[in-house]
Amino acid sequence: MNLDFTFQNPTRIHFGRTAMSHLSEEIRKYGPNVLLVYGKNSIKKSGLYDEVMRILHENGKSVVELPGIKSNPTYAQMMEGARLVREHHADLILAVGGGSVVDCSKGISASAYCEGDPWVRYWENGEPVANPVVPVGTILTMTGTASEMNGGSVITHEDKKLKLGRVFPLEEMAPKFSILNPEFTFSVPQYQMVSGIFDIFSHLMEQYFSGDDDCVSDYLLEGDMLALVSAARKAVKDPHDYEARSNIMWCATMGLNKILALSKTQDWEVHMIEHQLGAYTDCAHGIGLAIISVPYYRYIYKYGLHRFVRYAKNIWHVDPAGKSDEQIALEGIQALSDFIAEMGIPQTLREVGATEDMLPAIAESTIKCGGYYVPTTEDVLAILKACF
């Protein structure tokens, strides 16, 4: 644990089949005005919308709604939410949906009382938030981003063709409470489920593939990866397997609530490339991550060979007998590729609507952070071409 840190995560998690029974006690802590944020029609079809509205009304809440949040929530939607918060004097923003809805809700919270353009101040320039924010609570219906227990907010500015993630401090912007009932994720289509699974796996790898020290967090990340692989294999066969779906849900939350990455350097380049892919296509986030990961790690593994050897042995049980470190590392990355195929995830950019002429602009606009190696635009372009 060579890097010093300060850590406190304020989110109260209610997990399991009975989690919704805690909604009343949570919303009673806030004033009467609620902004309800959600996505498309799925919560209406499932009956969850009616249940939430009933509980809100039983507790005397006055509700205004912001429906239709897109899977890549936009600047325009965030600003519309901010306007509703101000007009309605919202005391609580209740996000019902997946990571997109939660991310957008945090964006609304930071933006509602911001002087000037919050996009420029908080996403482009990364300024600390000085204005008052509005508490956010969540009821999760898709799992992957861990937005339910962190301060992250990824917003897409359509005019600027930019998808930027802002990580707000946990104590300031992590949801006050999150209700996680794994059964709410049962109705997510298989394609979205595996997209979420790979989003989680990518978070874990991106926190893991950096650093040369012996650090507790790496062992815990390995534990979360192993749990996820075990649960994912069960869930793709039976999406209604409660044990598997609940494990995936908790792997996700633990995977990016920051507690497994304390004291670690990290490598978020795969997310950076995918964010720009998402700005140019409608590719599901986790699918994009899966497509980029294998070529990316094949491109950079030599710079952190020891860690890729450890990954191959500990996560994929690659037998090291008689093999060079390079062979072991490459077998580990191949095992990752095989796992992606096993999940039924597309393996090329072509399959998700990208065209070859988009690639230079995606490479150019990608933030270059790296880990064991910091790529150039040319490197990113070569990686993207290898995904094609």
Shortest CA distance to 59 belongs to which of 12, 23, 19?
Answer: 23
Q: Of 53, 64, 76, 259, which lies in the binding site for a copy of itself, with binding defined by CB under 8 A?
A: 259
Part of the chain binding a copy of itself (CB under 8 A), chosen from 50-58, 59-67, 219-227, 341-349: 219-227
Return the amino acid letter for 34.
V
125 forms part of the interface with a copy of itself (CB under 8 A): no
| Range 7-36, binding a copy of itself (CB under 8 A) | 7-19, 22
**266: burial class by Cβ within 10 Å (0-12, 13-18, 19+)?**
middle
Residue among 55, 76, 167, 226 that touches a copy of itself (CB under 8 A): 226
- Angstrom CA distances, 140 to 12, 43, 100, 240, 248, stand at 13, 11, 11, 17, 13
Nearer to a copy of itself, 10 or 370 (CB): 10
Given candidates 52, 96, 231, 256, which one binds a copy of itself under the rule CB under 8 A? 231
The dihedral sign for the CA sequence 248, 254, 256, 261: negative
Q: Considering the complex, state which of residue 17 and residue 57 has its C-beta at the smaller distance from a copy of itself.
A: 17
3 binds a copy of itself (CB under 8 A): yes
- Tell me: does residue 6 bind a copy of itself (CB under 8 A): yes
2 forms part of the interface with a copy of itself (CB under 8 A): yes
Nearest to 306 by CA among 336, 332, 270: 332
Among 120, 216, 341, 374, binds a copy of itself (CB under 8 A): 216
For residues 10 and 165, which CB has a smaller minimum distance to a copy of itself in the complex?
10
**CA-atom Rg of the chain in angstroms:** 20
Site for a copy of itself in 262-281 (CB under 8 A): 262-263
In the list 103, 199, 206, 224, the residue contacting a copy of itself (rule: CB under 8 A) is: 224
Of 242, 324, 344, 355, the one binding a copy of itself by CB under 8 A = 242
With beta carbons less than 8 A apart as the criterion, state whether 339 and 293 touch: no
Q: By CB neighbour count within 10 A (0-12 exposed, 13-18 middle, 19+ buried), where does 25 fall?
A: exposed
Q: Which stretch binds a copy of itself (CB under 8 A): 133-141, 200-208, 223-231, 344-352?
A: 223-231
Phi-psi domain of 21 (left: phi exceeds 0; alpha: psi -120 through 50; beta: other): alpha
Residue 386 is which amino acid? A
Binding site residues, a copy of itself, CB under 8 A: 1-19, 22, 171, 182, 213-216, 218-224, 226-227, 230-231, 234, 242-244, 246-247, 249-251, 254, 259, 262-263
